[in-house]
């Protein structure tokens, strides 16, 4: 012991000196920050009562969130019940994964005039992890997601039958890792729902199945009532907004083929505020009218008569809201008046129903009520409804929205 003490006393430099892992000199950023603090208001400024200029924190170059896009924190008995059912059965929702601002409104629900439960959630099938990485979407991504849950179709049908709904929306992550993109799993879920609750109308918001029309047919013939697939944005911005494997024209082919397979109503959605301009929106709508809205005849006229073949019935417009700082920035916040303008433009082009507003999403509850009423009328009558019966007055549409 005494030997060790002698050694330590003989070499004091080892223990008497401080060794730093990093350089002790201040970095340029820390020096700049210290200088800002030194030049800022001190204690005397506050005591004197003279208020200095307001200090604004954060990024002042980004557009501020308008008041009409702010929503209340979700809560309530219905909200908690739906959340409990989903957790108990191991189900996922796009409401949570995509951070939808309307979750409180949809899950909170209530009762309609007919006494029907209006609370609903958009079930997201095939897990919570997508194989694609769209720049606007907050859903988790991976090249190798977990295998499909074979009990999910049954569990989903069980949960939906408990809620006493008249209309439900199913969606899914993209599963490019599967040979069929998950089409059989999706179709089986729809069949299970129809077996347990035949009265429920089912909307399926699908991916593009990598352009496989065979898999689109499988979904279209599964018993669904509404086939939805979102083009998301104008064609010019598609490469910058969506995953590189998704294209505008491929989405049009999916919608066109679904209608050809006998689907009653097809539907798509467009986000605003990602960098598009009015000319591009108008061109997209004319394109959607050109491709989507059918007429009594399909005549190709080289003098400029439009070919209306794809026949999409419903279009929705909503504000893009950046989910996290890792996603693409909001280019601008679109005013409600502009949404009203595009609603009127689309209605004038002949769409069956248009939902347009800052908080409108592709799975929009008010729009679902309208679509449900149209489908119920079709089911109750063997005579095809007239165009005048399908296109209600603007006042009745406004009551729904």
Encoded tokens for 231: 């083009």
Is 130 within any annotated ligand binding site?
yes
Encoded tokens for 185: 């799993």
Encoded tokens for 343: 């609603």
Is 100 within any annotated ligand binding site?
yes
Burial 325-357 (b: 16+ CB within 10 A, else e): eeeeebeebbeeebbebbbebbbebbbbbbbbb
Q: What does DSSP say about strands 140-141 and 167-172: parallel, antiparallel, or unpaired?
A: unpaired
Using the structure block, give the residue that is written with the tokens 């083009």: 231
Can you spell out the DSSP letters for 179-236? TTTTHHHHHHHHHHHHHH-TT-EEEEE---GGG-HHHHHHHHTTT-SEEE---BS-GG
Encoded tokens for 269: 């959605």
Q: Is the Cα torsion angle 153, 156, 161, 167 positive or negative in sign?
A: negative
Q: What does DSSP say about strands 314-319 and 353-356: parallel, antiparallel, or unpaired?
A: parallel
Evaluate whether 256 touches 227 at the Cβ level (below 8 Å): no
Is 106 within any annotated ligand binding site?
yes
Q: Distance between terminal CA atoms of the chain?
A: 87
The residues, any chain, with a CB within 8 Å of residue 18's CB and separated by 6 or more, are: none
CB atoms within 10 A of CB 371: 24
Residues of the binding site for [4Fe-4S] cluster: 95, 100, 106, 130, 134, 137, 363
Binding-site entries: 95, 100, 106, 130, 134, 137, 363
């Amino acid at each position: 012991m005494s030997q060790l003490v002698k050694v330590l006393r003989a070499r004091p430099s080892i223990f008497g000196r401080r060794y730093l892992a990093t350089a002790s000199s201040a970095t340029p950023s820390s020096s700049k920050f210290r200088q800002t603090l030194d030049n800022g208001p001190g204690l005397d400024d506050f005591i004197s009562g003279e208020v200095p200029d307001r200090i604004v924190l954060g990024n002042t170059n980004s557009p501020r969130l308008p008041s009409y896009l702010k929503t209340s924190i979700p809560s309530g008995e219905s909200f908690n019940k739906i959340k409990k059912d989903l957790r108990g059965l191991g189900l996922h929702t796009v409401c949570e994964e995509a951070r939808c601002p309307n979750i409180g409104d949809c899950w909170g629900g209530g009762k309609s005039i007919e006494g029907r439960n209006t609370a609903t959630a958009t079930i997201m099938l095939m897990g919570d992890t997508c194989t694609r990485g769209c720049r606007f979407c907050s859903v988790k991504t991976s090249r190798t997601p977990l295998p499909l849950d074979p009990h999910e179709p049954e569990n989903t049908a069980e949960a939906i039958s408990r809620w006493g709904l008249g209309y439900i929306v199913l969606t899914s992550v993209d599963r490019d890792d599967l040979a069929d993109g998950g089409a059989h799993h999706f179709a089986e879920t729809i069949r299970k729902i129809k077996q347990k609750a035949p009265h429920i109308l089912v909307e399926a918001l699908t991916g593009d199945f990598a352009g496989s029309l065979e898999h689109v047919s499988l979904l279209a013939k599964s018993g669904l009532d509404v086939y939805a697939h979102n083009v998301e944005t104008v064609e010019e911005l598609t490469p910058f907004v969506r995953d590189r494997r998704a294209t505008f024209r491929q989405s049009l082919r999916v919608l066109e083929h679904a209608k050809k397979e006998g689907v009653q109503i097809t539907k798509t959605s467009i986000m605003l505020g990602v960098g598009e301009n009015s000319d591009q929106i108008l061109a997209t709508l004319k394109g959607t009218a050109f491709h989507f809205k059918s007429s009594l005849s399909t005549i190709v006229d080289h003098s400029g008569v439009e070919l209306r073949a794809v026949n999409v019935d419903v279009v929705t417009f909503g504000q893009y809201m950046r989910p996290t700082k890792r996603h693409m920035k909001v280019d601008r916040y679109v005013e409600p008046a502009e949404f009203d303008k595009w609603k009127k433009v689309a209605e004038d082009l002949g769409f069956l129903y248009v939902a347009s507003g800052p908080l409108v999403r592709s799975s929009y509850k008010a729009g679902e009520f309208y679509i449900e009423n149209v489908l119920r009328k079709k089911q109750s009558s063997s005579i095809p409804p007239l165009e005048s019966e399908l296109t209600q007055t603007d006042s009745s549409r406004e009551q729904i929205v």
